[in-house]
Amino acid sequence: MSVNDKQDNREHVVILGAGPAGLATGHEVSTHNSHKVTVLERNNFVGGLCNTIVYKGYKFDLGGHRWFTKNEHLNRWFQRLMEGEYIWVERISRIFYDYKYYSYPVSFGNVIKNSGIFTIGWAGITYLLSALQFSVFNKPIRNMRDAYVAQFGIKLYDMFFRRYSEKVWGLPCEELSADWVSQRSAGLSIWTVIQEALLNTKTDKKSLIEEFMYPRDGYVRIPQRMAEDIENSYADNSVRLESNVTAIKYNGPNDFEVTYKTQDGAEHTEYAKCVVSTIPLGVLPRLIDPPPKPEVIEAASSLIFRDIICVNLIVNKQQVSIDTWLYVQDEDVIFGRLHEPKNWSKAMVPNEETTSLVLECFCTRGDNIWEMSDDDIARQCVKDLENKLGLVKPGEVVDWKVVRALQAYPVYDLDYAPKIELVKEYLNQFEGLYIVGRGGTHRYNNADHSIEMGLLLGRHLLGYEVDYLAVNTEPDYQEIVSGGEPKRDAYRDEACQSE
Ligand SMILES: Cc1cc2nc3c(=O)[nH]c(=O)nc-3n(C[C@H](O)[C@H](O)[C@H](O)COP(=O)(O)OP(=O)(O)OC[C@H]3O[C@@H](n4cnc5c(N)ncnc54)[C@H](O)[C@@H]3O)c2cc1C
């Protein structure tokens, strides 16, 4: 059969968004030659939040992105995709709290040195009190604060979780759902922390991973490689940039018209059997015809996000620190996290003599941080680095490039879950419309989750019975390595059995 014969029989899938999730679906169906694939992306680059910008020869990810998954099949998929391009990076992280540096994972010697023996004692007492409240007297866990306190006690919560969480989310922990904690730190308890800190050995749960894989030339290489494969597999497959999807018309089961606008203002339409959306769940209903009821629009509009500004600095010294990440708890420091790309891959800088830093400022469009000019926020970051963290001296930062990204973090407020259900109920009536991805499902996915969801959806389109929406729902701390592979319906190397 010629390629053209095959093309004639292929169903058309239109994918909205060229982030990791959308590209993974396109990649899976392209690999199996089953569908004609058109990916529509509003940006002028692929990768979504996994972008890497290049400025004066320095490469900057949108915040430090590492590759990590407990799913060994997915790791092998990654290694095949990134053959010849991935490297292993040792993880060395620290926490900056109360103007002092703490190693992470926490070491007792370090905590005693920085905070004193009384702090440790107080942390132990408050932990026992919370164990009594939550485990013995079954006090209900109502929000993020309760979830952390139940796991670590009030003192450790206040030292290592409260301030950073509130910086990231922009809300008090009492106004945030406990779900985020159960997704991110269930299984990590005070006991695993104590065992590691005291014995300096690995517990049976090898927590807090120490090595991760990373694409040598920046994280964007993952989506770029997927996009290259999609376009190379068939002449009529395409990944179209600067194509902003503005409307989706449902004519009946597996019959869609997708309208998008290009940079020149021209409107185009694609006809599709299936539509895969990674457009934020809160936005998607507003694009669909027939439109939803007002209560669905209201629920969708109140699914909120946190935005981010990354301040990328060029520093005229060989190395600033040996950290892969530094988490900054103190509220009076404008950024919440920083990383030094050269510590991840030497290819991220153009020469040996200099280095660079990426400082993440969490914010919400329209707030005080967002409204600062690029130069003002960069100057404030440099001041904090010099005066509060002591990591650079005046004059060492020689240039900067500020990058802003909207909708970086889906917020789990106290009533986000029923809102999602209402929106999904409306979307379920459209046969052939699928949602995946971080914004697409309003789920706090890492890139590996979004890719796994996308690959599984690809399998589903190929006719296999897989539950792609089960990805990233299991309550198991995501950095704990041992304990085997995820229990959920996970991506596997071998073809799934059709049931
Ligand atoms: C600071 C930071 C650090 C992170 N660190 C890590 C890490 O270390 N490891 C890790 O695995 N993950 C990390 N992540 C998470 C990772 O970036 C995301 O999980 C991943 O990018 C999600 O991919 P996605 O395809 O689901 O969504 P996105 O990346 O958001 O992609 C969605 C795409 O849809 C496009 N789109 C939206 N609306 C339209 C429209 N109307 N028309 C056309 N296109 C549209 C967007 O432009 C975007 O390209 C981090 C995220 C942030 C913000």
What is the value of pTM for the model shown? 0.92
Does 181 lie in the same domain as 239? no
Does 321 lie in the same domain as 269? no
Q: How far is the CA of 1 from the centre of ligand 1 (A)?
A: 38
Does 460 lie in the same domain as 376? no
CB 445 within 8 A of CB 438: yes
Does 283 lie in the same domain as 320? no
Atom 3 (ligand 1): residue with closest C-alpha?
63
Q: How far is the CA of 274 from the centre of ligand 1 (A)?
A: 22
| Coil vs helix vs strand at 414 | coil
Pocket test of ligand 1: the residue of 14, 65, 69, 441 to mutate, having most ligand atoms within 8 Å of its CB, is: 65
Does 419 lie in the same domain as 295? yes
Q: What is the pLDDT along the chain (499 residues), one digit of tens a residue?
A: 333 444 456 899 999 999 999 999 999 999 887 899 999 999 999 999 999 999 999 999 999 999 999 899 999 999 999 999 999 999 889 999 999 998 877 676 777 788 888 888 888 899 899 988 888 888 899 999 999 999 889 998 998 889 999 999 999 999 999 988 877 665 556 666 666 655 544 444 444 458 999 999 999 999 999 999 999 998 899 999 999 999 999 999 999 999 999 999 999 999 999 999 999 999 999 999 999 999 999 999 999 999 999 999 999 999 999 999 999 999 999 999 999 999 999 999 999 999 999 999 999 999 999 999 999 999 999 999 999 999 999 999 999 999 999 999 999 999 999 999 999 999 999 999 999 999 999 999 999 999 999 999 999 999 998 999 989 886 554 554 444 555 567 788 765 443 3
Q: Which of 363, 384, 410 is the last residue of a domain?
A: 410
What atom in ligand 1 is closest to the CA of residue 63?
A: 1
**Residue 380 is assigned to a structural domain of this protein:** yes
Atom 2 (ligand 1): residue with closest C-alpha?
63
At 77, which CATH number? 3.50.50.60
**Residue 119 is assigned to a structural domain of this protein:** yes
**Residue 44 is assigned to a structural domain of this protein:** yes
What atom in ligand 1 is closest to the CA of residue 40?
A: 43
Does 434 lie in the same domain as 349? no
Specify the pLDDT at position 89.
95
Specify the pLDDT at position 499.
32
What atom in ligand 1 is closest to the CA of residue 66?
A: 8
Q: How far is the CA of 15 from the centre of ligand 1 (A)?
A: 14
Atom 31 (ligand 1): residue with closest C-alpha?
19
What atom in ligand 1 is closest to the CA of residue 440?
A: 26
Q: Which of 178, 205, 232 is the last residue of a domain?
A: 205
Does 223 lie in the same domain as 176? no
Specify the pLDDT at position 111.
77
What atom in ligand 1 is closest to the CA of residue 260?
A: 42
Q: How far is the CA of 474 from the centre of ligand 1 (A)?
A: 21
Instruction: Write out residues with Cβ below 6 Å of ligand 1.
Output: 16-22, 40-43, 48-50, 62-66, 244-245, 278-279, 308, 360, 408, 437-440, 445-448, 450
**Residue 211 is assigned to a structural domain of this protein:** no
Atom 34 (ligand 1): residue with closest C-alpha?
17
Pocket test of ligand 1: the residue of 278, 308, 325, 434 to mutate, having most ligand atoms within 8 Å of its CB, is: 278
Burial class (CB in 10 A: 0-12, 13-18, 19+), 40: buried
Does 77 lie in the same domain as 197? no
The boundaries of the domain holding residue 30 are 3-48+73-81+217-302+413-470
Specify the pLDDT at position 204.
44
Q: How far is the CA of 195 from the centre of ligand 1 (A)?
A: 35
Q: Tell me, letter by letter, the H, E, C secondary structure of the chain.
A: CCHHHHHHHCEEEEEECCCHHHHHHHHHHHHCCCEEEEEECCCCCCCHHHCEEEECCEEEECCCCCECCCCHHHHHHHHHHCCCCEEEEECCEEEEECCEEEEECCCHHHHHHHHCHHHHHHHHHHHHHHHHHHHHCCCCCCCHHHHHHHHHCHHHHHHHHHHHHHHHHCCCHHHECCHHHHHHHCCCCHHHHHHHHHHCCCCCCCCCCCEEEEECCCCCHHHHHHHHHHHHHCCCCEEECCEEEEEEEEEECCEEEEEEEECCCCEEEEEECEEEECCCCCCHHHHEECCCCHHHHHHHHCCCEEEEEEEEEEECCCCCCCCCEEEECCCCCCCCEEECHHHHCHHHCCCCCCEEEEEEEEECCCCHHHHCCHHHHHHHHHHHHHHCCCCCCCCCEEEEEEEEEEEEEECCECCHHHHHHHHHHHHCCCCCEEECCHHHHCCCCCHHHHHHHHHHHHHHHCCCCCCHHHCCCCCCCCCCCCCCCCCCCCCCCCCCCCC
CB-side neighbour CA atoms (13 Å) of 360:
27
Atom 26 (ligand 1): residue with closest C-alpha?
437
Does 400 lie in the same domain as 323? yes
Q: How far is the CA of 19 from the centre of ligand 1 (A)?
A: 6
Atom 41 (ligand 1): residue with closest C-alpha?
245
Atom 8 (ligand 1): residue with closest C-alpha?
65
Does 403 lie in the same domain as 313? yes
Does 254 lie in the same domain as 126? no
Pocket test of ligand 1: the residue of 39, 43, 46, 50 to mutate, having most ligand atoms within 8 Å of its CB, is: 50
**Residue 257 is assigned to a structural domain of this protein:** yes
At 389, which CATH number? 3.90.660.10
Atom 1 (ligand 1): residue with closest C-alpha?
63
Does 426 lie in the same domain as 292? yes
**Residue 128 is assigned to a structural domain of this protein:** yes
**Residue 348 is assigned to a structural domain of this protein:** yes
Specify the pLDDT at position 201.
45
What atom in ligand 1 is closest to the CA of residue 436?
A: 26
Q: How far is the CA of 410 from the centre of ligand 1 (A)?
A: 11
Specify the pLDDT at position 300.
97
**Alpha-carbon gap, residue 334 to 317, rounded angstroms:** 23
Q: Which of 363, 390, 410 is the last residue of a domain?
A: 410
**Residue 475 is assigned to a structural domain of this protein:** no
Q: How far is the CA of 447 from the centre of ligand 1 (A)?
A: 7
Pocket test of ligand 1: the residue of 23, 49, 404, 478 to mutate, having most ligand atoms within 8 Å of its CB, is: 49
Count the domains in the chain. 3
Specify the pLDDT at position 206.
46
